[in-house]
Amino acid sequence: MSELRLFDNEYNCIIAGVDEAGRGPLAGPVVAAAVIIEDYFEELEEINDSKKLTEKKREKLYAVIREKRKVGIGTADEKEIDKINILNATFLAMRRALEQIDNYDIVLVDGNHKIREYSGRQEEIIKGDGRSLSIAAASIVAKVYRDNIMKDFARQYPDYRFEKHKGYGTKLHRELLHAHGACKIHRKTFLRKILGE
């Protein structure tokens, strides 16, 4: 049994693990996932913090988790991020993800913040994606789901090469921003220093 499973089993109740992807990028939505894992499945031992997995491994586990587990996915787009700030938009995406699942006793949230405006029982777990199986599964779902969104945007806005950097502020992305300016899915509040706006 993995250390991640042992951590979750200490709660002795049904856990919904919640994590997000996309707080830092300059473009695209922030995505949150909520996952409930109640039973054993073959690939369970492979689940880990999404950042420690290859893209191929994440995509494999994403498919298994979405097929066999209870999963909720919530997003907040660039307009919502600009309007209410990234932290509040992240909480909004988490609440939207939790609205899609039910029959759980506690929410374990990755990070050092509890979900604002959520009234259920919850606990924040620092570095939870490396400690909790349910949070790690949520991190995989959120990451792959968001990457797929950014690949779709890459086809709509080919000048920005979103398939390469997924909206993060890489050297390539910054160079393309200076060359083309912002597009519809850029977070305008994130670009003030970069574009001098």
Residue of 161, 35, 189 whose CA lies nearest to 110: 35
Residue of 18, 3, 6, 7 whose CA lies nearest to 106: 18
Residue of 179, 151, 196, 197 whose CA lies nearest to 27: 151
User: Would you state the structure tokens that stand for residue 1, as one six-digit string?
Assistant: 């049994």
Residue 49 annotated as part of some ligand binding site:
no
Pairing mode, if any, of strands 30-36 and 70-76? antiparallel
Residue 19 annotated as part of some ligand binding site:
yes
Instruction: Report the distance separating Cα 35 and Cα 9, nearest Å.
Output: 15
Residues in the annotated binding site for a divalent metal cation: 19-20, 110
Residues belonging to the binding site are 19-20, 110
